Copies of this chain bind each other. A is one copy, B any other.
């Protein structure tokens, strides 16, 4: 079996429902689909040139993730968050992510730290608000990856998915971007110093700050 073939595990090629699921998930998280917007099975099926069956499976998975809400015979709509719900999710993040990074720091490699620094710098230097969200998540994910805490990471990923659009809104408004850059650097430096507790504390502060800033803007908007 020593063949020089670029082999692909064909059992892992995506099914139609997986493709639709990922596309819809990204569109919702990125805010390309507005909150409350109905997801018409037929329309989506036509867009992906498939039948409604994979679309329905995708939608039911999205519902399980809390990204859409369906009512029987009425279809699914993109689900939004009240300020309280967003705040609660930030609270959960502020609880979990510091612990993840605490356990990640001792396991981080030099390579991983370099990647993180790269994301951090790209984030700071980027002037394109569209990429901020991605770079922000790349940075966080890179720092957390070494922990190997699969389940924690799943939970955090879902939490971030749900508040991603609020996060980006918060980065764009006021001094959000500048502040995030500064705080990211602080987190990174703590990791580079291998100071797990400091990294955890700064992560907690970073998330709590984002929450506060977000809430100010939300109440400001609704006022």
Contact = CB atoms under 8 A, between A and B. Distances in A.
Contact of A64 (B64, B150, B151, B155): B64
A66 interface: yes
Given A88-B152, A151-B85, A11 B72 contact: yes
A11 B71 contact: yes
A contact patch SS: helix
A64 B65 contact: yes
Interface of A: 11-13, 15, 17, 53, 56-57, 60-61, 63-66, 71-74, 85, 88-89, 91-92, 95-96, 99, 149-152, 154-155, 159
Given A13-B72, A15-B72, A61-B61, 12 more contacts: A11-B72, A11-B73, A17-B60, A57-B57, A57-B60, A61-B63, A91-B149, A91-B152, A92-B96, A95-B95, A95-B96, A151-B159
